[in-house]
Structures are given as C-alpha cells and as structure tokens.
Amino acid sequence: MKVSARNVFLGTISSIKKGAVNAEVSLTLKGGTPVTAIITNDSVDGLGLATGKEAYAIIKASSIIIGTDLHDAKVSARNIMCGTIAKIVEGPVSTEVAVEIGAGNTVSAVITHESAKTLGLQQGGHACAIFKASSVILGVS
C-alpha cells in the first residue's frame, strides 16, 4: 500500500477501549512513543485489531499543528511529539515542516506560511507536532 499521507508509523497495539460507535485504540511506536486513534467500532472489527498486534498509524500532514514553548500548556489533543525541525519547505500560502522525533521517525506538518513566520520556525529549532486522536487512521498489512 502506498498513501499520500506523509506520516505512517509502525507500532504495536497497547489498548482498545470501545464505546457505542467509536473506539479508542492506543499504539506504542518503536522508541516508545505512544499514539492514540479514534476509529469506529466497525473498523476495529473489520481490521481484526487486538492488543499486541502490529498496526500502522497514518496521519495526514495537514491534520498536524506545530507548537513551541508549550511548557505547562494543556491541550486535549492526545498526540504530542516533540523534536528538532529537520526541514522547512515554504510556499506562498502553505509551509511544510518536518520534525525529527527520534527512533528514526519524522513527523511532517503542513501549516500556513504566516504561522511558520509568526512562530519563527527554523531548521534545527525545537518544535512539537500536535494532532487529535480523531485525525489518525489505522492500517494493517
């Protein structure tokens, strides 16, 4: 499978919590980074997901917010991955930012050009990638 989503991370399912319609599925990536996804119960069943199985977390770059100076800020987004800015590609409206989060993983985000400027993002700087559990698609081979 090849997908346009810039972020595809292999992990192991650590927990599944089902509601009436949606389920919360947590993975642990290599390197220990946790990722939480909200998908439908039907998808959990359809993919045969279970604790201990491997799965891919797929996140579109445009679903990711970049944050700096987060300190004690608290946000509802379940996924926050911090690291070093490896690359910035600027366009007139959109800018793509790649953040190396360790263990060989890089997170790509597409934000507005204006935000990249306001945040003063530059290669080598520290930044966090923030995304909601509902922005994560899970895949299995």
- Smallest distance from the beta carbon of 60 to a copy of itself, in angstroms? 6
Phi, psi at 41, each rounded to 5°: -55, -40
Cα 49 from Cα 44, distance rounded (Å): 5
In the bound state with a copy of itself, the residue whose beta carbon lies nearer, of 20 and 124, is 20
- Smallest distance from the beta carbon of 101 to a copy of itself, in angstroms? 16
- Smallest distance from the beta carbon of 50 to a copy of itself, in angstroms? 14
C-alpha angle 110-28-64 in degrees, rounded to nearest 5: 10
In the bound state with a copy of itself, the residue whose beta carbon lies nearer, of 56 and 101, is 56
In the bound state with a copy of itself, the residue whose beta carbon lies nearer, of 86 and 110, is 110
Contacts of residues 90-95 at CB distance under 8 Å and 24 or more positions apart, as own/partner, are 90/116, 95/121
